[in-house]
A and B are shown apart, each in its own frame.
Chain A
């Protein structure tokens, strides 16, 4: 009678020491970006929901008003980039923990990378190219203040 093969352990795959400090920087980034994100997100929530008329003030004009200010453009851009990198790095750690097959890992990492890149590119595009009153647009689709701006 032979004993059955033991299921675990998986073979210990050493990462090699090619990118020696990579995990340390990843860890540091998570701490710093986390602290900055807490500040940014609570400022965002406070300004949008508590100051002024609260939640009812949020409409197209409110967003347009905020993004007319370079400070809010930068704040929102920073929040977008940090949130995506922070979340993306967290997901990378989870994939490292749970995906053991090489193909699964490659596919998941690819999907994650593409998702992060697409959201950052589209988001930045909106923040930096936002124009509430495009020149050739149908006037019925534009907010009311555009008439005064154009005049």
Chain B
């Protein structure tokens, strides 16, 4: 079979293009060129297809070019919430962002999510984020003896908090919040979403304990309705709306 010089891509073939990744890096042990803990930018070029996501490009870098590049990912399909990162100045999941949607003509800027301490490259210490979540007591709280059978709930009662059950705890919302960046005390949007899921659950009886915690100085009143969290959420949760609903309950005293 003779090869033909064809400029156009044959039918059915996915077009490929070269894309530059500009990655914010940090190695706590230092490299030959960079000191311990020094933050710097590094560019990589990869050949990608229109069907490739940012995560695929990161894999190409890690597997073929620089094995020291560190980032988290697990399921790679937008469910586990491990690979939230700041891509072109917006928090997204690397596994849900197609390269072709990001203008591949320009370098794609990839940074770790902001407001949490960087451990290495794109990996941050999630502990402060989880600590906030633990503080709102994200588990069923009930009084009295456990019933013989399931705790029943009508579809309408379930609908009340359906939106906030979608959270995958990727931290994209909390680390997009300008108050969280500067404040150091604020619970952050995710913890409030987590609390919302239980406060509006008809089966739960610990609402007022959680509301009391969120009524704190570092609680819902720190929210300035910047809407960054709603924009960042890869699950499409209306985060700011959930926070406002918690505020409303605190103001009216009615759930």
A-B contact pairs, 26 of them (CB 8 A): A3-B36, A6-B117, A6-B118, A7-B117, A8-B117, A9-B128, A10-B184, A11-B184, A12-B128, A12-B131, A12-B185, A12-B218, A14-B185, A17-B212, A20-B212, A20-B215, A21-B215, A22-B217, A23-B215, A23-B217, A24-B221, A24-B250, A28-B251, A96-B183, A97-B182, A100-B184
Q: Count the B residues whose beta carbon is within 8 Å of the partner chain — how many?
A: 28
Which residues between 16 and 47 of chain A lie within 8 Å of chain B, taking CB atoms?
Answer: 17, 20-24, 26-28
**CB-contact partner of B216 in A11, A17, A96, under 8 A:** A17
Tell yes or no: A71 within 8 A of B by CB: no
Distance A14 CA – B219 CA, assembled complex (angstroms): 10
Contact of B247 among A6, A11, A27 (CB under 8 A): A27
Q: Are the CB atoms of B218 and A15 closer together than 8 Å?
A: yes
Complex formed: what's the CA distance from A26 to B224 in Å? 13
Contacts across chains A and B counted by CB atoms under 8 Å: 66
In the complex, what residues of B have CB within 8 A of residue A50's CB? Answer: none
Please give me the 8 A-B residue pairs with the lowest Cβ-Cβ distance, nearest first.
A15-B217, A10-B184, A23-B221, A4-B37, A6-B117, A3-B28, A9-B128, A8-B117
Cβ contact within 8 Å between B250 and A9? no
Contact of B219 among A23, A98, A100 (CB under 8 A): A23
Closest to B131 in A: A12
Interface assignment of A151: CB less than 8 Å from any CB of chain B: no
A19 → B minimal CB distance (Å): 8
B209 is an interface residue with CB less than 8 A from chain A: no
A4 partner residues in chain B, CB cutoff 8 A: 28, 36-37
A110 CB → nearest B CB, Å: 19
Given the complex of chains A and B, what is the CA–CA distance between A15 and B247 in angstroms?
Answer: 18
13 new A-B pairs (CB below 8 Å) besides A3-B29, A14-B216? A6-B118, A6-B125, A9-B116, A9-B128, A14-B217, A14-B218, A15-B216, A15-B217, A22-B217, A23-B221, A27-B247, A96-B183, A97-B182
> B36 → chain A, closest Cβ, in Å?
5
- Say yes or no: is B179 at the interface (Cβ < 8 Å to chain A): yes
Instruction: Write the nearest CB–CB distance from B252 to chain A, whole angstroms.
Output: 11
User: With A3-B29, A12-B218, A22-B217 given, is the CB distance from A97 to B251 under 8 Å?
Assistant: no
A97 and B115 CA atoms in complex are apart in Å by 13
Is there a chain A Cβ closer than 8 Å to B119's Cβ?
yes
Instruction: List B17-39 residues whose CB lies under 8 Å from chain A.
Output: 28-29, 36-37
Q: Which residues on A sit within 8 Å (CB–CB) of B216?
A: 14-15, 17, 23
Interface residues of B, Cβ cutoff 8 Å to A: 28-29, 36-37, 115-119, 125, 128, 131, 179, 182-185, 212, 215-219, 221-222, 247, 250-251
The total of chain A residues at the interface (CB under 8 A) is 26
Least distance between A14 CB and chain B CB atoms (Å):
7
The residues of B that contact A100 with a CB separation of less than 8 Å are 184
Query: Is A1 close to B, CB under 8 A?
Result: yes
| Contact present for A27 and B221 (CB under 8 Å) | yes
- With both chains docked as a complex, state the minimum distance between the C-beta of A10 and any C-beta of chain B, in angstroms: 4
Interface centre among B179, B183, B185, B216 (most CB of A within 10 A): B185
Chain A nearest Cβ from B123, distance in angstroms = 12
A130 to chain B, nearest CB (A): 38
Asked if A9 and B247 make an inter-chain contact with CB atoms under 8 angstroms apart, the answer reads no
Alpha-carbon distance A6/B36, docked complex (angstroms) = 11
Residues from chain B with a CB closer than 8 A to the CB of A12 are 128, 131, 184-185, 218
Decide: B184 and A9 in contact? CB cutoff 8 A.
Answer: yes
Which of B212, B215, B217, B221: most chain A CB closer than 10 A?
Answer: B217
Indicate if A135 sits at the interface (CB-CB under 8 A).
no
B221 x A13 contact (CB < 8 A): no
